[in-house]
């Protein structure tokens, strides 16, 4: 399955609701907020939520409601969605996996390179 996509194909009202909900949760925690404004948080959340929404709306995944969980595939694999405005190198991918492996409930990490609203899938790594 091709996991490249344009965010314009997503249901924008569902996407907006998810962005607002996640940004509000982060903003309400001073530790998670890290001095950022709500708008700054929304910009970061939007980039990642587009990948999660793609997995839910197009790839038939469901929300993973576990703390730090992103989505779950139809066969039960838990997926962490990582996005970047820079191309993912293998060393960057491995660094992310190493950073999150102790607390993240996912089985795999999927990586996308974002150019505006175009998301280019750049592979996956096993987390656990």
pLDDT at residue 11, as a whole number: 97
Q: Across residues 98-111, what is the average pLDDT?
A: 96
Among 64, 63, 17, residue whose Cα is nearest residue 42: 17
Q: Across residues 89-115, what is the average pLDDT?
A: 97
Answer whether 7's CB lies under 8 Å from 119's CB.
yes
pLDDT at 1 over 80: no
Average pLDDT, the chain: 96
pLDDT at residue 90, as a whole number: 97
Three-state DSSP state, 72 = strand
Which tens digits make up the pLDDT trace of 14-64?
A: 999 999 999 999 999 999 999 999 999 999 999 999 999 999 999 999 999
Residue 8 DSSP symbol: G
């Amino acid at each position: 399955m091709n996991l490249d996509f344009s965010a314009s194909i997503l249901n924008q009202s569902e996407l907006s609701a998810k962005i607002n909900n996640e940004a509000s949760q982060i903003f309400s925690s001073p530790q998670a907020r890290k001095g950022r404004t709500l708008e700054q948080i929304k910009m970061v959340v939007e980039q990642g939520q587009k990948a999660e929404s793609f997995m839910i709306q197009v790839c038939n995944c469901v929300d993973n409601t576990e703390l730090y969980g992103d989505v779950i595939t139809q066969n039960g694999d838990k997926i962490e969605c990582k996005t970047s405005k820079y191309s993912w190198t293998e060393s960057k991918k491995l660094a992310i996996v190493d950073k999150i492996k102790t607390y993240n409930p996912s089985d795999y990490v999927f990586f996308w390179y974002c150019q505006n609203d175009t998301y280019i899938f750049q592979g996956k790594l096993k987390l656990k």
